[in-house]
A and B are shown apart, each in its own frame.
Chain A
Amino acid sequence: MPTSNSNSSNVKIRQPSLSLSKQEDLLNVQTSYYFKPEDMKLTDKQKFQKLIWDPEHKQFLGRNATSWSKICLFYLVFYGMLAALVAICMWVFFQTLDPRIPKWQMDSSIIGTNPGLGFRPMPTADNAESTLIWFEGSNKTNFNKWVNNLSAFLDKYYTPGKTEKGTASIRKCSYNQPPKRGQVCDFDVRLWGECSPDKFFNYHRNAPCIFLKLNRIYGWVPEYYNDIHDLPENMPDDLKKHIASVKPEERNTIWISCEGENPADIEYLGPISYHPQVQGFPGYYYPYENSEGYLSPLVAVQFLRPVSGIVINIECKAWAKNIKHSRADRTGSVHFELLID
């Protein structure tokens, strides 16, 4: 049997004949169809090298220069056209959208009608995902990062019109003089009193100011608790008293309240003072309609004598009839911790 090596000695050796030479040709023809004979001799490594760069045919990854340039050109054109097509499609669709007014608003959008409450200063990136405000009042470099954070955030309030260009008509508003269409209200930074960058927001005195802000939602109009007889039961008594003490025309306000989360926290937290005097976001700032120069109203909450060395859990809430408080979704209320060393 010709197949086995052990028998090869038994096989009689025939003279090379014409047929054998012909057969060589045949096998050559055949191998050129099935596999290149020179490829057969190569090791896997050599085959791989040949695939990467074949010096004989000047082929890189199985293609020569012409082939590569052709295919590159094809894809250049093809993708160019595709990109143009997508761009055109996008442009056409974007024409249907107003650059100033979002297509989906409030309940038709995902943003909904229940704005989130936010606070400043923000915890820094090195302590991400934490809501702890931790500083040493005696160490300037330590609390300065919080102060700088706040200063940066409040920059546009101190220099109105800096971020927005030109045409905004900014005016002073009051409860009696709400802004007309196209106008935006300015914000009197003096209302924050103690909580000013000049005074390091009182961080150096261990009586830090935390600024609260309500998320802007296009077109959202708050429904105020402006009737002192119609206040929710879970509203803190301090706030109720405050509302009663406020002039009736100033009661169109989204009220703000801050408390320690637990009785112990309340005790550690001590007295709180709110700036401006009317403890909340004045109603004339709403609705937000993406007018240029619009500034969100802010409330500065100052914790006057918090106990040092203990983490105090604080929860602040915004009060309006159409704000629901959800700790999980972080809407209508905000939670943070305060730790003063």
Chain B
Amino acid sequence: MGKKKEAKPRKLNRKDQSLKRLENFKKEIVTDHHTVPIDVLCSRLETDIERGLSQYKARQLFMETGPNALTPSRKTPEYIKFIKTITEGFSLLLWIGASLCIIAAVIEYVYRKKVDTDNLLLAAVLVLIIIMTGIFMYYQQNKSSKIMDSFATMIPQKAEVIRDGQQITVNVKDLVVGDLVDMKFGDRIPADVRITKSQGFKVDNSSITGENEPLLRTNQCTNENILETRNVAFFSTNAVEGTAQGIVIMCGDHTVMGKIAGLTARLHPSITPLARELNRFMTIITFWAVILGIIFGVASIAIGYPWIDSALFIIGIIVSNVPEGLLATVTLSLTVTAKKMALKNCLVKNLEAVETLGSTNVVCSDKTGTLTQNKMTVCHLWYNGDVVQADISEDQYDARKYTETPGFDILIRCATLCNRAEFINTRTPRKYIMKWEVRGDASEAAILKFIELTRLEGDPDEFRKAHKKLIELPFNSTSKIQLSIHALANNCLMVMKGAPERILERCKTIFINDDVEELSDELRQTCEKACFELAARGERILGFCDMEMKDTYTYSYPFTIDPLPNFPTEGLRFVGFISLIDPPRPEVHNAVETCKTAGIKVIMVTGDHPVTAKAIAKEVGIITTDSIEDAALFYNADHDETKDAIVVSGTTLRELQQDELDAILYTYNEIVFARTSPTQKLQIVEGLQRLKNIVAVTGDGVNDSPALKKADIGIAMGISGSEVSQQSADMILMDDNFASIITGIEEGRKIFDNLKKSIVYVLASNIAELAPCLMFIVCNIPLPLGILAILCIDVLTDMLPAISLAYEKAESDIMKRTPRNPNVDNLVTFRLYFLAYCHIGVLEACAGFFVYFLIMYEYGFKPNRLFGLRPEWDTYYINDLEDSYGQEWSYEERKQLEYTCSTAFMIAVVVCQWGDVLACKTRLNSIMVQGMTNWFMNVSILIETLLAIFLTYTPYMSYLKFYPVGLHCWLYALPFSGLILLFDEYRKFCIRNYPRGYFYRETYY
């Protein structure tokens, strides 16, 4: 904290600070725990290389340092959260209204000693509304955050620890620095561990680096940088092979992972577009309401109304303008959608994120684990001079094409024997072989599964047993080959696999054209060509060769490889290649296609090799053209401007200036970033955001998490994704199904559309609520619509239909139009106001006044009598006000008439809102196309009506100023309701048929 203060905290905003930290990230981790000799480390940590920590010491340390877990970001107390919900947005306006009411009542009491029940009641109702919506929103927010909390605690883990020489199993969070831990393949590393003993121990650091290359861990310190050295295994990475023992050097938040997690926690996510839109809407409404209120309040005082009446206008105008139910509608429609998404296995952590997805126009996707399955799979075979596609389906239908061919069995025999992978569980169900768990290296596992699928030689396990392994030389990165010798019936067979060029150089013959031939230079070139072709597709290629050994090498021969093989390892017979790939998820291609039709750019950002990246990008449709620009040429004069796609590697990216990156991001429709670092990912996202894009980032590794957090919406993978990435994300795809993003986009757009519809619906009735107030002041007619009736419309009858619009199904064009332009296509636009206020609203107000004047006439007050009548009407001591028929009305009688008219006005608005809600169902389509299948809406219209009936006809409602009205009052407003619907149908017809016509320009929202 102290440092922060020194460093001009006002100048640097949070984002800059976070960025600085991010850039300094690598420098931050400075330690020598991995470089000092092991006994120095032991004495430093007061531990023992054989016996581990003592129980006592461990307990003591635990008390000091706390659990070995990442501290979740600090939480705001519940009551603050609640207070926030009741002071945010419109609530503030309502508070003003309520306090005006109370002030009016207090002054009334002080001056006249009269308890002003009307104003107190109004204040109470307003406060009740604020608290109710507050509770509702708080409940919704709480619910969604609880889902996430439960999700976070889902994964308790165990670790094997040696303390006092005893091996015990403890919870990972109980580990302390200095603990001696045992790790084996399949485990998640429990803390940052310095390896002391290792047997072929390999870890997958992909959750930190993004690369799922298994990395060897030994007890040798190979680098000063802790991230590069071989003798440290990092917290929350996965062990894939072998076993190891080591000493915990860092725990919890101090681990590398913890630091990255802390880094991402500090990156504050940018405000969601929906929140931005809502804020904007609220500002507009607040200004509008306050200005109107002040203008009319001042005007009425100037005209000479008592100030109590003026306060009443202000309250009336504020109350009628504030869409009290809107925030509840927003929250609810988001929750509804989040639930719907949850059914599709999308967990939405941040409710507003759902909408963000809808306005997304760029998706940055990680490759490994997101676009691809993160599972090596055999893809192609090359033997006997031909490339064949490997069939990895369960039914093996296509496999029949090649299983019968000569050469295949030779390749498979070689591949079976020269393979150390094993199935972990019994393989009883011969289904889903691709999902069986395998012990061993990813590529060997892939080959083993492929063999199991073909079953050419029967059970590979049995086959291996039948051909006993006599000796084995494991794969190592210097020789890049793996060989083993197996006993055949009479002699021995040497099988070898490895990098194709290493294999080829050891071969003398080749199995080709159904025969063994000399491996001439020409054939060698053929092989290499095949190899290049496969490599160009981003596949990883393994070469296979074998040799039946001479009689001298029987199975009793003492084979040894130490220090050098005592048998020939050259002059083998080349049998073929097997190429592997991490295949794209099957649904990805369609999803990418849909994104493109929906005007969304899909950018691949991967840590993988450019060639592989390009191949996968082509396969999933991110790149659709063959003319791909090389980013290295971009800033040269001779680059080709016609190209549409570009592949940018991390090294090139490092050289690019900010504006050049922006230009790339803007120019090319199909972009692949390869070999990128976490910082670069962040940089790309920021570049996109600079160009005012709304960016979605998908990813699974820890390396993606800063970008996930920075993105407008981060999407993490639920199964393969790392914990940190899930914590940084706004949305989690629980089934790793990329296509869910499409659903998300559709739902998000739908939310935005439906929210607009909902706002139009709610705003339309505002005019019908505002106009009576104006007429009251301007024309001096008895108040046509009471404030309580306004409140009832806003929070009772209008609420459900407004919410029901959230359930409206998407319109036909939703995934065919381009994403909204966040600078122009706001939630509320001028056009929307125009439509709601000047068209529908005016019609509703007309209906209300029509009913009002009609009823007044029926009871004796002709319209001409009403104008200017207000002062007498509202004077208490005038007990004999004459109507147009010469009848004289007492104060109470005419007030009852006023309330009856107000009730009728309310009913007129409710009836018009039927038409309004039907008109708001669609923005473009005819209601005939859309249909009436939204049962929530149908029911909500019914409930709206029932509520109005309840308010009107329940006996004691007269306390709330509702009086029963004749049934005919309902009918009077019906033509107007129909007119609203018809007019809107006409308007939409014009929009559809004259897409640049008047109605489109002025009213298409």
Does A associate with B in a complex?
A: yes
Chain A positions near chain B (C-beta within 8 angstroms):
1-4, 11, 14, 17-20, 22-23, 26-27, 30, 33-35, 62, 70-71, 74-75, 78-79, 82, 85-86, 89-90, 93-94, 97, 100-104, 109-112, 115-118, 122-123, 128-131, 213, 215-218, 288, 290, 294, 328-331, 334
CB pair B821 A33 closer than 8 Å = yes
A27 contacts B878, C-beta separation under 8 Å = no
Q: Which of A26, A110, A130 contacts B667 (CB 8 A)?
A: A26
B641 to chain A, nearest CB (A): 7
Highest count of chain A CB atoms <10 Å: which of B658, B660, B850, B888: B888
Residue B857 is within 8 A (CB to CB) of chain A in the complex: yes
Residue of A75, A118, A130 touching B888 (CB-CB under 8 A): A118
Could you tell me if B889 and A294 are in contact, using CB atoms closer than 8 angstroms?
Answer: no
Chain B residues with CB under 8 A of A18: 637
Closest 3 CB pairs of A and B: A2-B658, A116-B890, A23-B663
Q: List 28 A-B contacts (CB under 8 A).
A: A2-B658, A4-B16, A14-B657, A18-B637, A20-B635, A22-B641, A23-B660, A27-B666, A33-B821, A34-B823, A79-B842, A82-B843, A90-B863, A97-B858, A110-B897, A110-B963, A111-B893, A112-B893, A116-B879, A116-B888, A118-B879, A122-B877, A122-B878, A215-B880, A218-B885, A218-B886, A330-B879, A330-B890
**With A1-B23, A215-B890 in contact, is A100–B885 under 8 Å at CB?**
yes
Residues of chain B lying within 8 A (CB to CB) of residue A89 = 850, 975
- Nearest residue (CB) in A for B861 is A102
Q: Contacts of B16 on A, CB cut-off 8 Å?
A: 4
A97 to chain B, nearest CB (A): 6
User: In the complex, are the beta carbons of B877 and A215 less than 8 A apart?
Assistant: no
Contacts of A122 in B (CB 8 A): 877-878
Given known contacts A1-B683, A79-B842, A93-B854, is B880 in contact with A213 (CB within 8 Å)?
A: yes
Write the nearest CB–CB distance from A329 to chain B, whole angstroms. 5
Tell me, yes or no, whether B813 is within 8 Å of chain A by CB. no
Flag whether B309 is at the interface (Cβ < 8 A). no
Q: 5 new A-B pairs (CB below 8 Å) besides A23-B663, A116-B888, A330-B891?
A: A14-B635, A89-B975, A110-B893, A118-B879, A130-B877
Q: For this complex, into which size category does the number of interface residues on chain B fall?
A: 35 or more
Shortest distance in angstroms between A31's beta carbon and chain B's nearest beta carbon?
A: 9
Interchain CB contact (< 8 A) of A109 among B683, B849, B859:
B859
Give Cα distance in the complex from A103 to B641, angstroms: 82
B633 to chain A, nearest CB (A): 9
Decide if B860 touches A129 in the complex (CB within 8 Å): no
* Docked-complex contact B860 and A109, CB < 8 angstroms: yes
* Complex-state Cα separation, A89 to B663, whole angstroms: 62
From B838, B879, B998, B1002, residue with most partner A Cβ within 10 Å: B879
Contact assessment for B692 and A34 in the assembled complex, using a CB-CB cutoff below 8 Å: yes
Task: Verify if B846 is at the interface (C-beta below 8 Å from A).
Answer: yes
A118 to B691, CA, bound (A): 76
User: In this complex, what residue of B is CB-closest to A25?
Assistant: B663
Docked complex Cα distance between A328 and B891 (Å)? 11
Q: Which residues of B contact A82 (CB under 8 A)?
A: 842-843, 846
Q: In whole angstroms, how far apart are the Cα atoms of A124 and B710 in the complex?
A: 72
Does B185 touch A at the CB level, under 8 Å?
no
Q: Whole-angstrom distance between the alpha carbons of A75 and B842 in the complex?
A: 11
B81 CB within 8 Å of chain A: no
Please indicate the chain B residues that have their CB under 8 angstroms from the CB of A288 in the complex.
886-887
- Complex formed: what's the CA distance from A1 to B879 in Å? 83
Residue from B666, B823, B889, B900 in contact with A215 in the complex, judged by beta carbons closer than 8 Å: B889
Nearest-neighbour CB distance to chain B for A111, whole angstroms, equals 5
C-alpha gap A257/B320 in the complex (Å): 49
Contact residues in A for B135 (Cβ distance below 8 Å) = none
Residue ID in chain A nearest B875 by CB atoms: A128
A94 to B679, CA, bound (A): 76
Residue from B635, B891, B900 having most chain A Cβ neighbours under 10 A: B635
Q: Which residue of A lies closest to B901 (CB)?
A: A110
**Interchain CB contact under 8 A, A86 and B880:** no
Q: Give complex CA distance A213, B881 in Å.
A: 12
Taking a contact as CB atoms under 8 Å apart, the answer to whether B659 and A23 are in contact is yes
- B692 contacts across to A, CB distance below 8 A: 34-35
Q: Complex: how many Å from CA A84 to CA B253?
A: 74
Are B854 and A128 in touch, CB under 8 angstroms? no
B418 to A: closest C-beta gap in Å:
47
Residues of B within 8 Å of A30, CB to CB, are 666, 691
- Please tell me if the beta carbons of B900 and A110 are within 8 angstroms of each other in the complex: yes
Is the Cβ of B679 less than 8 Å from the Cβ of A1? yes
> Which residues from A are CB-within-8-Å of B20?
4
A218 x B887 contact (CB < 8 A)? yes
CA gap between A309 and B684 in the complex, in Å: 92
A164 to chain B, nearest CB (A): 10
Shortest Cβ distance from residue B991 to the other chain A in the assembled complex, whole angstroms: 15
> Contact at B1002–A101, with CB atoms within 8 Å?
no
- Evaluate contact between A334 and B879: CB separation under 8 angstroms: yes
The answer to whether the Cβ of B630 comes within 8 Å of any Cβ in the partner chain is no
Contact with A along B809-832 (1 / 0, CB 8 A): 000000000000101000000100
- Residue B374 CB within 8 A of the other chain: no
Q: Are B19 and A4 in contact (CB under 8 A)?
A: yes
Task: Give the distance to chain B from A32, nearest Cβ to Cβ, in Å.
Answer: 12
| A103 to B856 Cα, complex, angstroms | 11
Q: With both chains docked as a complex, state the minimum distance between the C-beta of A122 and any C-beta of chain B, in angstroms.
A: 7
CB of B876 closer than 8 Å to a CB of A: yes
The answer to whether A90 and B854 touch across the interface, beta carbons within 8 angstroms, is yes
B815 to chain A, nearest CB (A): 21
Complex CA–CA separation, A335 to B880 (angstroms): 14
B634 touches A103 (CB 8 A): no
Closest to A79 in B: B842
| Min C-beta distance of B172 to chain A, whole Å | 36
Report B-chain residues with C-beta under 8 Å of the C-beta of A111.
Answer: 859-860, 887, 889, 893
The answer to whether B637 touches A19, judged by C-beta atoms less than 8 angstroms apart, is: yes
Q: In the assembly, what is the distance between CA of A94 and CA of B863, in Å? A: 11
Residues of B within 8 A of A20 (CB): 635, 659-660
Contact A101 B885 (CB under 8 A): yes
Residues of B within 8 A of A93 (CB): 854, 972
Q: Which of A2, A14, A78, A90 has its CB near the most chain B CB atoms (within 10 A)? A: A2
* A329 neighbours in B (Cβ, 8 Å): 890, 892-893
Contacts of A75 in B (CB 8 A): 838
The interface residues of chain A lying within 8 Å CB-to-CB of B838 are 75
User: Given A33-B821, A82-B846, A86-B850, is A215 in contact with B888 using a C-beta cutoff of 8 Å?
Assistant: yes
Map CB proximity to A onto B653-692 as digits: 1 under 8 Å, 0 otherwise: 0001111111100110000000000010001001000011
Q: Report the nearest A residue to B641, measured CB to CB.
A: A22
**In the complex, which residue of chain A has the Cβ closest to the Cβ of B849?**
A86
Taking CB atoms, residues of chain B closer than 8 Å to A110 are 859, 893, 896-897, 900, 963
CB nearest neighbor in B for A19: B635
A328: chain B residues at CB < 8 Å are 892
A74 CA to B835 CA, complexed, in Å: 13
Q: Which residues of A contact B639 (CB under 8 A)?
A: 19
CA distance A123 to B359 in the complex (A): 66
Is residue B636 within 8 Å, beta carbon to beta carbon, of the partner chain?
yes
Chain B positions within 8 Å of A62 at CB level:
830
Bound form: Cα–Cα A228–B636 in Å? 121
Which residues of A have CB within 8 Å of B823?
A: 34-35
Task: State whether the Cβ of B853 lies closer than 8 Å to any Cβ in chain A.
Answer: yes
> Which chain B residue shows the least CB distance to A94?
B857
Chain B residues near A4 (CB, 8 Å)?
16, 19-20, 23
Assess A294 versus B886: contact at CB under 8 Å? Given A19-B639, A19-B663, A110-B896.
yes
- What is the CB-to-nearest-CB distance from B14 to chain A, in angstroms, rounded to a whole number? 14
Closest residue of chain B to A296 (Cβ to Cβ) is B888
Instruction: Identify A290's interface contact among B859, B879, B885, CB under 8 A.
Output: B885
Known A86-B850, A94-B857, A102-B859; judge A3-B658 contact (CB<8 A). Answer: yes
Residues of chain B within 8 A (CB-CB) of A101 are 885
User: Which residues of B are found within 8 Å of A112, using beta-carbon distances?
Assistant: 893
- Using Cβ atoms and an 8 Å threshold, which residues of chain A touch B885? 100-102, 218, 290
**Nearest CB of A to B767, in Å:** 13
